[in-house]
Structure formats: C-alpha cells, structure tokens
Amino acid sequence: MLTHVTVTVAPDETGGRHLLAPVGLPTPHQVPVRFAVEGADFELTGEATTGQMAALVSPDPATQITFSYTFADGGPGYPDILFRSQENRFTKAADALVRDARRLAESTRDGHAAIEAIVNDVAEKFVYGHPEVRFNDGLEEIPYLACGVTEGSCVDINTYLIACLRAAGFEAGYVTGYFFPEEKNGCCDDMHCWVVTRHDGVTLEWDIAHHLKMGKGPICCGLNPKAGSRVAMAHSMGLDFPQLGIVGAKLIAEPAWINADGTLTRTTLDIRMQKTQPDAAEAAA
C-alpha cells in the first residue's frame, strides 16, 4: 500500500519569505519514497544537531505551494539519532523532575514497567487542550509539575514525557507528522506528534494525547488508539539550521515561513491523504 499526502500552503501575505518543510521520516511501519514541490523551486538544507534534511523553498509571493509525499508500507525503523538526547530548553529537565522520574523508575520491577509507569504518571498530569500559555513558555528547562492538572496539546504532553523518560535514563525520541482521523476521510487540520522508547532492544510507541482525547486509560503502547492513519515527517526538538539563521527551533512538522530573525511562523494549510495500491511496475522495482 502507498500513502500519498499533499500539503498545500496558501500564498505568503508578507512576501519575500522562504518556506522550510520536512521531507519525511522512515519508521518501522513506512518509508518515504517520493517528495516533490509544485509551484516553486527548492533545495535541501541540513539540520546541525540531528543531521536531518529539510526542504528550503523559494516561492513566488502570489503562488500557492503544494508539497507531495509518498510513503510505502514497511520501513527500516526509526533513525538511531532520534534516541540521542540533545540538551536544550525543550529537553532539559529541572532537578525536581529528574528526582521524581528516577524515584518512579526505581519503584518498578524492570525497565519496561518503569517506562509504562512514567507514561501513565505523565498522563495523569495533563488534560488535553491548546492553552494560550504553555507550561514551559519562557523557561530554560522543563519544570516539574508537582500537583494539579495542566492543560496541554500533544506537543506539550510529549515535551514533558520525553524529559521524564530521559531523566530516568531511558532512550526516548520525539516524532512529528500528520494523523488523519478515520471520520475525516483523508483530511486533517494540523500536525501531530508521538513518543518512541527503546529499551533492551524493544522499540515501543506512545500516544498519550489520543488516549486523553478519547477518555481511554490506562495508557498502552502502540499507535492509533484512535482510528485513522498517520505518517512521520521529522523528529526531535531544539533544531538548528545555521545557514538559515535558525537556532533552537522547537520542531519541524508542517511547512513554516522563515522570518528575517530566524524564527518560524505557521502557514495556512490544506492537508490531504489518500491510499493506493502500487502498480505492477512499482511492485517489481
């Protein structure tokens, strides 16, 4: 099966800016086999801390741009670099968070149980939502959420989860992409993200946000507790593109406008997905 995703970006009202877009990420489930840009020229540019490549697009201000991705079923797994800790303000844990994560891990029977306990402990600290002010805004480290319940999106929840898992000594990675809910028939509104752990040779995936949105618990490993399809676009947080003047970007998932000061601004998007069977020539190749 082939999964085709198109991401169409409305023209830039400001004018003169470039677009930065991910080019797709291999997973155990899929591998990107095609990437194209319609409506503008592009070149590849490298991210300094992870080695990921991204597309740098030079659009005409009056022209909409369409990014096309194709993924084939089956993949080589997640890149090893995804599991390496890149310490920055989106990943560095406060001392109190480190102590609590290690305490929780030490109280379980083994590493796999510890990971599951940490995931469920994080889930209890959040209610799903999109707050105007995020729990770590303006901070240089991830704070310890000692009590109460915090409103957070998938980005917020997984930021906290990654900090907890790594503080407890576990390999964990942050993946961005798109999730297409079954009921939306091949459309979605924006990016999604999830967490991947690797321990004793076992790789597991976790999607707390979908469990919370469905009111489903305890949190179990695996993707798509909510019916639908997903594709992976990029990974990690705190990204640097030195040639573009971008330092410490939180993430890349959707195409984003590059501002003169090196910050990124969200675009107006139309995101669609369809699945097809490979033709005979593709199957034989």
The residue range of the domain holding 141 is 83-233
Quick one: 147 and 217 in the same domain? yes
Please give the helix or strand (H or E) that residue 154 lies within, else none.
Answer: helix 154-167
Considering 216, 233, 250, which residue would you say is the last residue of a domain? Answer: 233
Cβ burial, residue 276 (10 Å; 0-12/13-18/19+): exposed
The closest alpha carbon to 117, from 219, 212, 217, belongs to 219
Quick one: 266 and 203 in the same domain? no
Scan for tokens 């640097």, then name that residue. Answer: 240
For residue 156, pLDDT beyond 90: yes
Quick one: 115 and 176 in the same domain? yes
Quick one: 115 and 188 in the same domain? yes
Write phi, then psi, for 109 (nearest 5 degrees): -75, -30
Radius of gyration (Cα) for the chain, nearest Å? 19
Quick one: 74 and 87 in the same domain? no
Considering 233, 253, 269, which residue would you say is the last residue of a domain? Answer: 233
User: Crossing angle of helices 95-106/154-167, nearest 10°?
Assistant: 70
> What is the pLDDT at residue 14?
81
Scan for tokens 């705190």, then name that residue. Answer: 238
Backbone CA torsion sign across 95, 138, 193, 37: negative
Write phi, then psi, for 73 (nearest 5 degrees): -65, 145
Alpha-helical regions (H) of 46-110 = 95-106
Q: Which residues contact 201 (CB under 8 A, 6 or more apart)?
A: none
Q: Check: CB of residue 14 under 8 Å from CB of residue 257.
A: yes
Ramachandran category for residue 196: left, alpha or beta (phi over 0 → left; psi -120 to 50 → alpha): beta
Total domains in the fold of the chain: 2
Quick one: 120 and 19 in the same domain? no
SS3 of residue 196 by DSSP: strand
Question: How big is the chain, counted in residues?
Answer: 285
Q: Check: CB of residue 223 under 8 Å from CB of residue 30.
A: no
Percent of the chain at pLDDT > 90 equals 91
Q: What is the pLDDT of residues 168-217, one digit of tens each?
A: 999 999 999 999 999 999 999 999 999 999 999 999 999 999 999 999 98
For residue 117, pLDDT beyond 70: yes
Quick one: 124 and 224 in the same domain? yes
Quick one: 133 and 246 in the same domain? no
The closest alpha carbon to 42, from 12, 22, 13, 26, belongs to 22
The closest alpha carbon to 205, from 190, 191, 192, belongs to 192
> What is the pLDDT at residue 283?
47
Q: What is the pLDDT of residues 255-277, one digit of tens each?
A: 999 999 999 999 999 999 999 99
Q: What is the pLDDT of residues 37-80, one digit of tens each?
A: 999 999 999 999 999 999 999 998 889 999 999 999 999 999 99
Quick one: 106 and 221 in the same domain? yes
Quick one: 95 and 34 in the same domain? no
Quick one: 121 and 44 in the same domain? no
CATH number of the domain where residue 215 is located: 3.10.620.30
Quick one: 88 and 167 in the same domain? yes
